[in-house]
């Protein structure tokens, strides 16, 4: 068909009055205009015939019939104006789309070129999670950058991923990574709302952004996000993409991933989420900080309702199920509250690098924590702080409880973990006050003092230092037992000066204090800072027979696949207190609880030893005590170090007693072991009795060494166990190692002044004299004890009577003497013994020793 269009019909041309009819025939070479031909010129209703008013006879006449065109010589058909505009619009629309497509392609190529080569694209590893378990396998907490372990798609109830799909990306299962329909819907929604209403990113795009890109809201980032989303869809299944999303998306409150969110908000695994809980978690995702149930419970409820309705609309659940799972707006959302076990989890996390180095994948940590004890400790500390804190001026508390071998069973680092994550049991260092005094007294016992040694409780000055008793009262002459039991400052100060501060530091370090200490006399009063964990562990040797411990909370670390990465060892420092010294310390520390400042810590049938402590201005109040089964330390005070009206013997001792009553419930009562050398071997150099010189082994040129029974001091036959390399005792009757053979004590250690034995028990003094381990005296020497008045606790003074023959003491074989009991005025026979050793005032103290009429300690202290 030949289309013919006149020049007047072109866009923009002005119609002209017809002149002479144009001939149909044209000369050769003339321009040929397209025309409609005889059958062209179809109009729609309302259109006028081409040609204008001058058409037809006399410029008038009837219009042609509908659907037909009139033609004639000198007359040509004219195209409608609306038809031309539509054609132009379509044309320019096509051109615009073409150029727009080219521009979009250019943008995609430009920003895509900024991405690394696609053959290097890979999903980055998820940050490793640390799953921390109690001793019984119950979950304490998850730690790491995510706060929860990864879970697989198929481990979850069907409604968990369904809730996320219905809320975040309804066409997730059908789109190719980018959802054009969704984008158009969001664009229309924003046009109507005249503002941004919601995002248009698919779940796949969000995964791409979270895995590979920054959160910047720029055109380039959105283009790259779309490219990566399409790549993800081509290389991963829908389940895998959704699994990546659920395990890496942020849910607020520090929880990344569905498992972390379930544990954080509801205290359950994501595997056990209920329908309503799953819907609430899905509702958090658009704005985690604003919609989570901890910060905005009302909004969380609203978002839950929207999620449930969306699930019902998509057919994942029925409307009845959606209604049943909704939380009543008038109800509160019950979320998990982080308890004191979180202090333990933080501590464990801080230890991981030291135990296994950098963590590259998920690990499971088995701890020593007893979950019931942990919650009991948390409750007791919180209740006592609430009950006593306001009237006594303190607001914080901490507790550490461990077995006598150092395994930590409970730790409370503060009253409220959500309010403060600062761990006052491990991180904080405070003055221990008088709880440090046992190390001073132990140094004195190793120098040769006994619990019955007399000391003068009176003010003195030593190089400008003048210690005072907290009560402002002074008792005069007292025993060391009484000095420790009643926490008399002047006695501890005199002892520290006498044995030297460095000796006190050596004892404290050996017992388990790891904080740096300075050798000054005031160390006797606990003025140098330590943490509660090390202080508590330093008391463990008093409870376990004298063996040093290393506090431990981790027993085993495994990979998620079950490979063992670390396993705790039972090895420790070994013996740190000689048995005879331990017996003296046990005597004094038990007295401190029975009748001294720690009386509130009594536990009925259990033997209890311990010590109270109160720092200057009562800024810190402590009690550390032990039984044969457990050691526990308690601290109370304020974070800002302000004064209180506490003392170690009131609220701290009360907390200790309440906790230990629960912790020991059901355990058989056992006495505190004081240790012995029985079954142990000690090495000693062989001495030639004729010359008193060390015998030299002619084969080695070294001093000849023999092993003796540490309990009797008698030489024994030994051999080296080829399996262990240990020296063991041989049964002379059989020539075989003794069953449960005697354990050797390492030689080469310094001799303890009290016994001539090192911590390991070498039974030879500096002069080569054999020492009896049972008495600490040279073998064959008789040891007598000072007679003590059971009423006053003071030595009975020998009196000359000149009457009759003295009876023989059956225990020593020595004659006894008559003395006068100052409490009764009666003469009594007692073993003969030299006067008790008395601590002399320091050289710088120019004060006479006061001699007073003996009275009871209570009379002396309180003026009775």
State how far the Cα of 632 lies from the Cα of 626, in Å rounded to an integer.
Answer: 6
- Supply the DSSP string of 563-590, one letter for each residue: -EEEE------EE-S-HHHHHHHHHHHH
168 an active-site residue?
A: yes
- Distance (Å, rounded) from C-alpha 610 to C-alpha 146? 43
CA-to-CA dists, residue 231 to 164, 178, 224, 228, angstroms: 22, 11, 11, 5
**623 neighbors 639 (Cβ within 8 angstroms):** no
Q: How far apart are CA 347 and CA 332, in angstroms?
A: 32
| Residue 7 structure tokens | 């020049």
Neighbours of 263 (CB within 10 A): 21
Question: What distance in Å separates the CA atoms of residue 280 and residue 311, rounded to the nearest whole number?
Answer: 12
Of 342, 434, 537, 657, which residue is the catalytic one?
A: 434
What is the residue-wise DSSP string for 309-349?
A: HHHHHTTSS-HHHHHHHPPPTTSPP------THHHHHHHHH
The pair of structure tokens assigned to 129 is 């999670």
b/e for 673-694, b at 16 or more Cβ within 10 A?
A: bbbbbeebbbbbbbbeeeeeee
Half-sphere exposure of 398 (CA within 13 A, CB side): 28
Q: How many C-beta neighbours within 10 Å does residue 330 have?
A: 6
Nearest by Cα to 7 from 25, 27, 34: 34
234: exposed, middle or buried (Cβ count in 10 Å: 0-12, 13-18, 19+): exposed
Q: Is 35 a catalytic residue?
A: no
Alpha carbons 599 and 384: distance in angstroms, whole number: 18
**Buried-exposed string 346-365: b where 16+ CB fall within 10 A, e elsewhere:** bbbbeebeeebeebeebbbb
Structure tokens at 90: 């379509």
CB 39, CB 2: distance < 8 Å: no
Q: What share of the chain is helix, strand, coil (3-state, %, to 5)?
A: 35, 15, 50
User: Going by C-beta distance under 8 Å and a sequence separation of 6 or more, which residues neighbour residue 37?
Assistant: 1, 2, 3, 4
Let me know how long the chain is.
Answer: 864
How many Cβ atoms sit within 10 Å of the Cβ of residue 17? 7
Cα dihedral 796→797→802→803 (10° resolution): -10
Q: Which residue has the tokens 């049991």?
A: 425
| Cα gap 603→601, rounded to integer Å | 6
DSSP, collapsed to helix, strand or coil, labels residue 703 as strand
Q: What is the CA radius of gyration of the chain?
A: 46
Buried b (16+ CB within 10 A) or exposed e, 419-439: eeeebbbbebebbbbbbbbbb
The answer to whether 628 touches 653, Cβ cutoff 8 Å, is no
Query: 């400790």: which residue's tokens?
Result: 377
Q: How would you class 193 by CB atoms within 10 Å of its CB: exposed for 0-12, middle for 13-18, buried for 19 or more? A: exposed
Out of 6, 55, 141, 168, pick the active-site residue. 168
CA distance 445 to 447: 5
Residues belonging to the active site = 168, 434
């Amino acid at each position: 068909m030949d289309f013919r269009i006149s020049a007047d019909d072109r866009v923009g041309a002005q119609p002209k009055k017809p002149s002479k009819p144009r001939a149909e025939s044209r000369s050769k070479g003339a321009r040929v205009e397209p025309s409609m031909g005889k059958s062209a010129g179809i109009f729609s209703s309302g259109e006028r015939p081409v040609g204008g008013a001058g058409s037809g006879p006399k410029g008038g006449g009837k219009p042609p019939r509908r659907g037909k065109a009139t033609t004639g010589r000198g007359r040509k058909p004219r195209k409608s104006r609306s038809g031309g505009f539509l054609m132009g619009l379509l044309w320019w629309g096509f051109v615009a789309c073409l150029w727009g497509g080219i521009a979009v392609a250019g943008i995609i190529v430009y920003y895509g070129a900024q991405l690394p080569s696609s053959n290097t694209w890979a999903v980055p590893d998820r940050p490793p999670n640390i799953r921390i378990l109690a001793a019984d396998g119950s979950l304490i907490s998850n730690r790491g950058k995510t706060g929860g372990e990864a879970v697989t798609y198929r481990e979850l109830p069907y409604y968990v991923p369904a809730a996320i799909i219905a809320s975040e990306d309804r066409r997730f299962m059908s789109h190719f990574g980018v959802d054009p329909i969704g984008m158009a819907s969001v664009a229309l929604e924003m046009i109507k709302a005249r503002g941004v209403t919601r995002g248009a990113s698919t779940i796949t795009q969000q995964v791409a952004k979270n895995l590979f890109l920054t959160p910047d809201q720029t055109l380039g980032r959105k283009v790259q996000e779309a490219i990566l989303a399409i790549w993800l869809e081509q290389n991963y299944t829908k389940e895998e993409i959704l699994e990546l999303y659920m395990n890496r998306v942020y849910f607020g409150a520090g929880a990344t991933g569905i498992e972390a969110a379930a544990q954080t908000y509801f205290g359950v695994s994501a595997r056990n989420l209920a329908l309503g809980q799953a819907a609430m978690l899905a509702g958090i995702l658009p704005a985690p900080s604003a919609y989570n149930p901890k910060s905005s419970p009302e909004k969380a409820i609203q978002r839950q309702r929207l999620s449930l309705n969306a699930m019902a609309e998509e057919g994942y659940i029925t409307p009845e199920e959606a209604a049943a799972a909704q939380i009543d707006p008038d109800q509160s959302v019950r979320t998990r509250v982080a308890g004191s076990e979180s202090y333990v989890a933080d501590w464990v996390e801080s230890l991981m690098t030291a135990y296994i180095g950098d963590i590259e994948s998920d690990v499971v940590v088995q701890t020593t924590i007893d979950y019931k004890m942990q919650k009991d400790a948390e409750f007791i500390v919180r209740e006592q702080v609430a009950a006593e804190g306001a009237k006594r001026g303190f607001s914080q508390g901490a507790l550490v409880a461990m077995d006598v071998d150092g395994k930590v069973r409970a730790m409370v680092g503060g009253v409220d973990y959500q309010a403060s994550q600062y761990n006052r049991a491990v991180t904080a260092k405070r003055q221990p006050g008088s709880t440090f005094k046992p190390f001073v007294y132990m140094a004195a016992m190793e120098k040769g003092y006994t619990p019955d040694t007399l000391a003068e409780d009176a003010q003195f000055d030593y190089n400008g230092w003048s210690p005072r008793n907290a009560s402002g009262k002074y008792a005069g002459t007292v025993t060391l037992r009484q000095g420790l039991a009643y926490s008399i400052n002047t006695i501890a100060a005199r002892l520290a000066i006498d044995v030297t501060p460095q000796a006190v530091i050596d004892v404290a370090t050996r017992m388990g204090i790891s904080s740096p200490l300075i050798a000054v006399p005031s160390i006797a009063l606990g003025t140098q800072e330590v943490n509660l964990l090390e202080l508590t562990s330093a008391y463990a040797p008093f409870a376990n027979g004298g063996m040093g411990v290393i506090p431990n909370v981790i027993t085993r670390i495994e990979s998620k696949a079950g490979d063992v990465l670390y396993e705790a060892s039972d090895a420790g420092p070994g013996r740190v207190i000689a048995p005879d010294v331990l017996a003296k310390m046990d005597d004094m520390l038990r007295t401190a609880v029975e009748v001294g400042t720690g009386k509130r810590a009594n536990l009925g049938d259990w033997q209890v030893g311990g010590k109270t402590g109160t720092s200057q201005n009562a800024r810190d109040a402590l009690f550390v005590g032990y039984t044969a089964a457990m050691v526990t330390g308690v601290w109370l005070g304020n974070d800002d170090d302000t004064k209180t009206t506490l003392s170690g013997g009131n609220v701290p001792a009360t907390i200790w007693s309440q906790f230990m009553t629960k912790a020991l419930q059901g355990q058989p009562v056992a006495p505190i072991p004081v240790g012995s050398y029985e079954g142990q071997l000690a090495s000693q150099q062989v001495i030639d009795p004729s010359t008193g010189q060390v015998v030299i082994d002619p084969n080695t040129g070294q001093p000849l060494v023999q092993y003796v029974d540490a309990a009797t001091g008698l030489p024994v036959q030994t051999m080296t166990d080829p399996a262990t390399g240990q020296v063991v005792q041989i049964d002379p009757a059989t020539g075989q190692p003794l069953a449960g053979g005697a354990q050797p004590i390492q030689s080469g250690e310094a001799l303890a002044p009290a016994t001539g034995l090192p911590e390991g028990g070498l039974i030879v003094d500096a002069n080569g004299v054999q020492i009896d381990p049972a008495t600490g005296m040279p073998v064959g020497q008789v040891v007598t004890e000072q007679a003590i008045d059971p009423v006053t606790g003071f030595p009975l003074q020998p009196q000359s009577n000149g009457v009759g023959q003295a009876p023989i003491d059956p225990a020593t074989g020595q004659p006894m003497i008559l003395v006068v009991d100052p409490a009764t005025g009666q003469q009594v026979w007692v073993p003969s013994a030299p006067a008790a050793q008395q601590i002399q005032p320091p050289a710088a103290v120019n004060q006479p020793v006061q001699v007073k009429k003996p009275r009871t300690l209570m009379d002396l202290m309180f003026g009775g």
